[in-house]
Amino acid sequence: METIISLLLAHIQVLNNQIKYLLIFIAKNIRLNSKPSDWNSPKYNKLKIDKLPVIKIRQKKNYKEILKLHLVNTGKALNPISRRGKSSVPADLRCPCCNAPSKFIYDNTGGRGQFQCKLCESNFSKQNYFNDSVTLACPHCGHNLVLKKHRKNFNIHKCVNFNCSYYKFNLKSLSPDSLNEYQSSPHKFKLHYIYREFTTDFFKVDLFSLPTGASSLAFRKFSPHIMGLSLTYLVNCGLSTRKTRDVLREVHNVKISHAQIANYATTAAFCVKAFVDNFDYKPSKFLAADETYTKLKGVKQYVWFIIDAVTKSILGYRVSLSRDVGPCILAMRMAFAKFKKFPGKALKFVSDGYTAYLLAQQQFALHR
């Protein structure tokens, strides 16, 4: 026994010396073309998630109180607007901020649709009343975000201020080659601040809904034994539903349709799903996440897994047609539901650099 241990230690030392020689050879002869600073280039900002925007709450005012305050401070009443010529301000128009009547409202753009209130000094238009009490602003410059794109589950808001410190820093950080590429193809870079506002609340989606096509276990024409045979050939032997139908007819003289076999598989999957989803896995504080894709009848589908890195148990999963943040959040919700007491900051969650996990982390921070 001692001889074997000695031989193994000597072999480890030989391998260690070989590794040292290889590292020295790589350091001397193989030059890395990329500079360390290139990894921090704004060219890779598309793989990063910007911090949350500043939420501005617009306060509603009362024009009567403004008139009273002006009278107390100046001793004079604030007169309505003295108009010259024909006014383009509708008589029924009122300020959406302080509810002032039209006699206190200016035509701010000469008939082009924008108005200004004399009392609260707010700008507005008939088509764009700011009835919403919340405004999103850039956390770097305070400029209001502009709604740029509508996606399936979220809207994209962008800071279009070219004097924003975030944009100036990213623009200054570009190398000369990247700057030339940015001038010719600006869509390849993300230099402005961007925020994704989710329109779908994935935290209210039912994780344990019934699958479509599941049949009941009330056997009428066939017995549970036939269902067991169907699942044996279908799952254990890897046959298709039609091949399983043919085997049952030729070997067991059971005339059953391939659709009924598919319903049996769906029903069995539902029964197993309830056991798998509600089992007490006693998860550790170390989780790992990854996604992959598979093709079913030529259609690419994505499978998301959240596993316990210690016990190798699958805590959360999701199948989706798209590789976006929605199914990622649902898989993470399923995994986190396995904790009787959530570990909080003690949780170690490992994933790749895909932005869906970073967006999911941001959404979980908002809903905690």
- In which band, very low, low, confident or very high, does the pLDDT at 209 lie, cut at 50, 70 and 90? low
Please report the pLDDT score of residue 215 as a whole number: 58
Please report the pLDDT score of residue 287 as a whole number: 94
Q: CA-CA distance, 181 to 176, in Å (whole number)?
A: 9
Packing angle of the helix pair 355-366, 325-336 (nearest 10 deg): 60
Q: Give the Cβ contact number of residue 365 at 10 Å.
A: 9
Q: In this model, does residue 37 exceed pLDDT 50?
A: no
CA atoms within 13 A on the CB side of 55: 7
Residue 53: what residue type? P
pTM (two decimals):
0.62
Please report the pLDDT score of residue 43 as a whole number: 63
- In which band, very low, low, confident or very high, does the pLDDT at 328 lie, cut at 50, 70 and 90? very high
Please report the pLDDT score of residue 234 as a whole number: 92
Please report the pLDDT score of residue 273 as a whole number: 81
Query: How is the chain split into domains, by residue range?
Result: 43-51+139-198, 59-125, 201-271, 279-366
In this prediction, residues 60-71 reach a mean pLDDT of 85
- In which band, very low, low, confident or very high, does the pLDDT at 131 lie, cut at 50, 70 and 90? very low
| Sign (positive or negative) of CA dihedral 194, 200, 201, 202 | negative
Q: In this model, does residue 120 exceed pLDDT 50?
A: yes
Q: What percent of the chain has pLDDT over 70?
A: 88
Q: CA-CA distance, 222 to 215, in Å (whole number)?
A: 13
Q: In this model, does residue 89 exceed pLDDT 50?
A: yes
Q: Which residue, among 368, 215, 356, 240, has the nearest Cα to 290 in the 3D structure?
A: 356
- Contacts for 257 with CB less than 8 Å, ≥ 6 apart: 245
Please report the pLDDT score of residue 336 as a whole number: 93
CA atoms within 13 A on the CB side of 287: 29
- Contacts for 114 with CB less than 8 Å, ≥ 6 apart: 108, 123, 124, 125
Please report the pLDDT score of residue 186 as a whole number: 85
Q: CA-CA distance, 279 to 314, in Å (whole number)?
A: 11
* CATH hierarchy code of domain 279-366: 3.30.420.10
By CB neighbour count within 10 A (0-12 exposed, 13-18 middle, 19+ buried), where does 363 fall?
Answer: buried
Q: In this model, does residue 331 exceed pLDDT 90?
A: yes
CA atoms within 13 A on the CB side of 182: 19
Q: Which residue, among 43, 64, 360, has the nearest Cα to 170 in the 3D structure?
A: 43
- Contacts for 279 with CB less than 8 Å, ≥ 6 apart: none
Question: How many angstroms from the chain centroid is the CA of residue 244?
Answer: 41
Q: Which residue, among 316, 315, 327, has the nearest Cα to 360 in the 3D structure?
A: 327
CA atoms within 13 A on the CB side of 158: 11
By CB neighbour count within 10 A (0-12 exposed, 13-18 middle, 19+ buried), where does 330 fall?
Answer: buried
Check if the beta carbon of residue 320 is closer than 8 Å to that of residue 329: no
Q: What is the pLDDT of residues 137-184, one digit of tens each?
A: 899 998 888 888 888 888 889 998 999 999 999 888 888 888 888 888
Q: In this model, does residue 195 exceed pLDDT 80?
A: yes
Quote the DSSP letter at residue 348.
E
Q: What percent of the chain has pLDDT over 90?
A: 23
Weakest-pLDDT range from 109-118, 173-182, 221-230, 343-352: 109-118
